[in-house]
Structure 1
Amino acid sequence: MNNIFEKFTTELEEEYQTRQNIKTITQQIDSVERKLTLYIQNYHQQQPQSQDKPNYQQLLKELEPIKEHFGQLKTLIKPIHYYKYRDHWKQHLSQIVFCLTFSNWIDNKTLLKIDEIQTLLNLDKPGAGQLSIELEDYLLGLCNLSNEMSRYCVNCVIRQDYDTPLKISLFVSDLFSGFRLLNLKNDIIRKRYDSMKYDLKRIEEVVYDISVRNLHNNTSTSNNNNTSTTNTENKMVE
């Protein structure tokens, strides 16, 4: 009997040490993730004439330390114990997905796919207990993206950028339509998906106001007038 419980003691101590090591690594991941989140805030605060604009490539540089931290987790956790410890880092993955998809859309106007993010983080494809971005992590990240797009849309108008809200409206509308194709039975994703309806409604209200006031057309007209004036001045100089 004593031998049996001595073995239990050893196993409990090993599990405790593993959890402590995981906690240390996830704290490091959390530190980098908070930097990424603060970096995303710069998109909202940037001024139209700012020389220091945030961009996707710079965000990828900020992401570099996380690759090493996830590599440490992969070597530390046996595949058989993957789901036992996954709760320690899954929330961080959703937030990282959000930061990457938001920054990429602002610069490239495209949606990063789950496979592309796996590659960026040097993670494995889901399955067989490998450290990876699960579908739930990705979808929750996209829900966060919708929330942030709603906020960014309003801030664009404040900066007198009337073109971007129209693009945001089309993108979030497509994103929402994609979610509607899913037969969601996951309570967390279902609740977050429901909030996307309000994000889209808010964005559509902003676009409606822009359209009613003809601000988008005025911007285009103003740009055309400026171009015409410049051409006229050049001819006069000639």
Structure 2
Amino acid sequence: MMIKHEGEGCSRRKKTDSAQKTDNCDSNLTVNLSSPVIAAFKVFQLELDTKHDKYERLVKLSRDITIDSKRTIFLLHRVTSVPGVEEVLTEADVKLDGVRQKIGMIAEEIRGEDLYQFHRAFTPGIQEYVEAVSFHHFIKHRTLISLEEINAKLVFVKDSDAKETAEGQQPIGAQQVLTFQVTPTDYLLGVADLTGELMRMCISSVGNGDMDTPFQVSMFLRQIHDGFSYIGNTGPYEVSKKLHTLRQSLSKVEDACYTLKVRGSEIPKHMLADVFSSRTSMIDQDEGVA
């Protein structure tokens, strides 16, 4: 037989009465939509939604730029295996022009905005573009493209949206100039990634009988490494992190040049690429690279 305590029933009735009072208060509560506070929060909501939508559009543009830049890099690697280098470079120029058009869309999106509010949205694509355009420049000129040269090509002419022709305003159909400036950090990170592509180019060129490119690449990578050494740990965290990968690429290229110089006469040319590939994998295992 269950014994019901008198205090238990009282506490339940108090809780029920309290819940009913709360429900009545909630049902009688009305929001004054004309309140200045509500109006201010609606403005905040609109600003945040606009910013988030723009951020997502920039992320999508960055993804497209990354994909097109990677395709350009894959195309440029064909220069070690085809006789018509100029045809490959011309086709790469067309692809890079398409990438620049997408960068122009980024410039249009961030016009009048603080660049660093949205920088994280498009920095991966810009780094990949720097890698592609610097790889193209090296193949063509055997030098490193400067930040000024990259930014000089990121100037876009857009049709103005002006509809009035009052004094001091642009006439109908006028054009305006938009510029996009690659940040020094994005430039450095793109150049750091370039070293990996040059290492692959070095190995591929040896397999196709080109004995000059490995030594040119080795000297070029040494100069880049010396330049990054001046930055050291004082630069951005991403730069110092990629410096380790740069050293790996340099050591692989120098090892290939050593093998080519010392044992080049002993190994048939068609087997040199296999020797370099096997030695590269051994270096990766020694350094703990998967």
Shorter-chain TM range is: 0.7 to 0.9
Query: Could you state the TM-score of these two structures normalised by the residue count of structure 2?
Result: 0.64
Whole-angstrom distance in 2 between the partners of 1:163 and 1:88: 40
Aligned partner of 1:197 in structure 2 is 247
Aligned partner of 2:69 in structure 1 is 33
Q: Which runs of 5+ in 2 are unaligned?
A: 1-36, 157-178, 270-290
Query: Could you state the TM-score of these two structures normalised by the residue count of structure 1?
Result: 0.77
Whole-angstrom distance in 1 between the partners of 2:192 and 2:118: 24
Contact 2:147–2:187, Cα closer than 8 Å, also in 1? yes
What are the equivalent positions in structure 2 for 1:132-151 lying under 5 Å apart?
A: 132-151=181-200
One-letter amino acid of the structure 1 residue matched with residue 226 of structure 2: S
Aligned partner of 1:229 in structure 2 is none
Q: Which has the larger radius of gyration?
A: 2
Aligned partner of 1:233 in structure 2 is none
Aligned partner of 2:202 in structure 1 is 153
Whole-angstrom distance in 1 between the partners of 2:251 and 2:63: 37
Aligned equivalent of 1:173, options 208, 213, 222:
222
- Seen in structure 2, the aligned counterparts of structure 1 residues 204 and 24 have a Cα distance that, compared at 3 Å, is closer
Higher helix proportion, which one?
1
Task: Note the alpha carbon deviations across 1:192-211, whole angstroms, 9 max, x for none.
Answer: 11221121111111111111
One-letter amino acid of the structure 2 residue matched with residue 64 of structure 1: D
User: Percent same amino acid at aligned positions?
Assistant: 20
* Higher RCO (Cα < 8 Å, 6 or more apart): 1
**Residue aligned with 1:181, SS:** helix
Matched, 1:207 2:257: yes
**Residue aligned with 1:89, SS:** helix
Aligned partner of 2:288 in structure 1 is none
- Seen in structure 2, the aligned counterparts of structure 1 residues 187 and 110 have a Cα distance that, compared at 3 Å, is same
Question: Aligned-pair RMSD on alpha carbons?
Answer: 2.5
Task: Note the alpha carbon deviations across 1:27-53, whole angstroms, 9 max, x for none.
Answer: 443443243233234245x24xx4476
Contact 1:42–1:54, Cα closer than 8 Å, also in 2? no
Q: Which runs of 5+ in 1 are unaligned?
A: 124-129, 220-238
Greater displacement, 52-61 / 68-77: 52-61
* Aligned pairs, number: 208
